[in-house]
C-alpha cells in the first residue's frame, strides 16, 4: 500500500485514521509542524535537529508525490510539479542552512491544506 509509510509515520498519536482524506490533511499539517521546527533549529544553530526536521518534511512530500494518481488529469500533474518544487526547496534549506525556502514551503503547504479542507469538507 502506497500510504503505509505515511500512515506509520503519522499515526503515533492517532490510533485510527478515519479516511484517506484525513490522512492527507495530517500529512500537510505534519509538513507545517516539521518546517516550523526546522526554522527554530536554524535560529538556534542546531544543525542536527534542522536536518532531522527537514528530512521528516521531505519524507512527507516524497510520499505524497509517490501516491499521486495520474488518472486525475491536470490536477495530478500540477501537484506533481508542486510537490517536486517543495522537495527542491527543502533541499536548499538544508544545504544552505537558510529559512527562506522553508518559509516558502510553509506558505505553499498552508494553501494546499486550505484547498484540501475546502474540497473535502473536513
113 domain residue, yes or no: yes
Q: Measured in whole angstroms, how far is the alpha carbon of residue 63 from the centre of its chain?
A: 9
The rounded distance, in Å, linking the Cα atoms of 99 and 40 is: 9
Contact residues for 9 (Cβ-Cβ < 8 A; gap 6+): 30, 56, 59, 60
**pTM for this predicted structure:** 0.83
In a domain, 47, yes or no: yes
Alpha-carbon distance values, 109 to 27, 78, 104 (Å) = 10, 14, 8
Instruction: For residue 4, tell me if it sits in a domain.
Output: no
Structural domain including 70 reads 20-120
Q: Read off the CATH number of the domain in which 39 is found.
A: 1.20.120.340
Number of domains in the chain: 1
The verdict on residue 3 lying in a domain is no
* One pLDDT digit (tens) per residue for the chain, 122 residues: 445 555 555 555 554 557 888 999 999 999 999 999 999 999 999 999 999 999 999 999 999 999 999 997 899 999 999 999 999 999 999 999 999 999 999 999 999 999 999 999 85
Q: Enumerate the H helices of the chain as residue ranges.
A: 4-10, 20-43, 47-66, 74-96, 100-120
Domain assignment present for residue 84? The answer is: yes
14 within domain boundaries:
no
C-alpha radius of gyration, the chain, whole number: 14
Q: Which residue in this structure is represented by grid cell 542552512?
A: 97
Residue 2 lies in a domain: no
Residue 6 lies in a domain: no
Amino acid at each position: 500500500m502506497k500510504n503505509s509509510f505515511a500512515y506509520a509515520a503519522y499515526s503515533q498519536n492517532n490510533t485510527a485514521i478515519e479516511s484517506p482524506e484525513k490522512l492527507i490533511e495530517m500529512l500537510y499539517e505534519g509538513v507545517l509542524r516539521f518546517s516550523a521546527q526546522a526554522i527554530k533549529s536554524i535560529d538556534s544553530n542546531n544543525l542536527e535537529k534542522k536536518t532531522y526536521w527537514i528530512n521528516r518534511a521531505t519524507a512527507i512530500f516524497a510520499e505524497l508525490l509517490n501516491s499521486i494518481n495520474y488518472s486525475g488529469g491536470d490536477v495530478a500533474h500540477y501537484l506533481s510539479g508542486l510537490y517536486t518544487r517543495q522537495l527542491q526547496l527543502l533541499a536548499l534549506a538544508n544545504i544552505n542552512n537558510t529559512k527562506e525556502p522553508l518559509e516558502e514551503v510553509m506558505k505553499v503547504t498552508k494553501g494546499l491544506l486550505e484547498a484540501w479542507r475546502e474540497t473535502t469538507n473536513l
